[in-house]
A and B are shown apart, each in its own frame.
Chain A
């Protein structure tokens, strides 16, 4: 499973990098930068799902 991040939808709410700092960082304007685009480990999956579930813009999905 992988993180699919839609940069066009991101409005910089900052929920993902607050909840999953191992998977997302912020750029200088506060927009999200995904750090892991490869296959997620089981340990990463929980935080990835948390980030997806809290994005107000539906910019993050987990591809099965």
Chain B
């Protein structure tokens, strides 16, 4: 085995080794309604949740849905999407809403309520956990880095 080939194999091996645990271990499930897309990459997902965009490509207004701050999953979601504590996420959204920079998010105490709201609200995007026990309708599922 030549050196180049061996090097390529090692890079692929290491890449797979690093990426697989992140994606594989993620407990988050993303839901959406009339987003004009059913899949997106992680970066876009994070930008959407950080209110960096206001509209979807189809012109619908983006509505962010998150687990309530008192929810057991809230901390996990905050860490994975925002890289912050839930307290800081609240502070972030307080700032955004107060300054009128983006539409206010919606917090839900149950995943079912969130799913129902998404179903009724075009342009809404939400996140739940697999471990929460709720199964999201297939029509609402959004794939991240498929």
Tell me if chain B binds chain A: no
A contact residues vs B (CB 8 Å cutoff): none
